């Protein structure tokens, strides 16, 4: 794992915050003008991003980090989550960090089991 990586430190601090269900702390690492490309489409701005994350945090039961790497500007993490509807729902995020805030996130997870749980 790359040491002393600014982007990775921010990504891990953000990860620790949202997985601890502390959305206020998590959002302190998110730029006001964040752009997030998620499976369902693009999310723009911190308010929309928080509205996207909040329901997921509510159904979150457990998280384990699979791998986390980064360099000065970019971090890439993969983790597994246990959620109320889906027992194993891994996610991956590639984030761009500028001035200690996440300005861009490419966010990836499998929507299929969540859609199946809703049906």
Q: Which residues contact its own copies by CB under 8 A?
A: 1-2, 39, 66-71, 74, 76-78, 90-92, 94, 106, 108-112, 115
Identity of the residue, 58 or 64, whose beta carbon is nearer to its own copies in the bound complex: 64
Largest CA distance in the chain: 45
CB of 43 to its own copies, least distance (A): 15
Q: Which two tokens stand for residue 115?
A: 């859609």
Identity of the residue, 8 or 53, whose beta carbon is nearer to its own copies in the bound complex: 8
- Nearest-angstrom CA–CA distance, 86 and 27: 25
- Nearest-angstrom CA–CA distance, 62 and 65: 10
CB of 47 to its own copies, least distance (A): 24
Identity of the residue, 6 or 25, whose beta carbon is nearer to its own copies in the bound complex: 6
Give 72's DSSP letter.
S
């Amino acid at each position: 794992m790359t040491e002393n990586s600014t982007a990775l430190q921010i990504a891990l601090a953000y990860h620790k915050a949202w997985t601890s269900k502390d959305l206020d702390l998590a959002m302190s690492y998110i730029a006001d003008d964040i752009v997030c490309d998620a499976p369902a489409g693009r999310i723009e701005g911190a308010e929309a991003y928080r509205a996207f994350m909040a329901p997921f945090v509510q159904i979150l039961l457990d998280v384990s980090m699979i791998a986390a790497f980064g360099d000065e500007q970019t971090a890439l993490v993969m983790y597994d989550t246990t959620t109320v509807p889906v027992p194993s729902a891994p996610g991956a995020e590639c984030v761009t960090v500028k001035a200690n805030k996440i300005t861009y996130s490419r966010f990836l997870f499998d929507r299929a089991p969540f859609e199946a749980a809703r049906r």
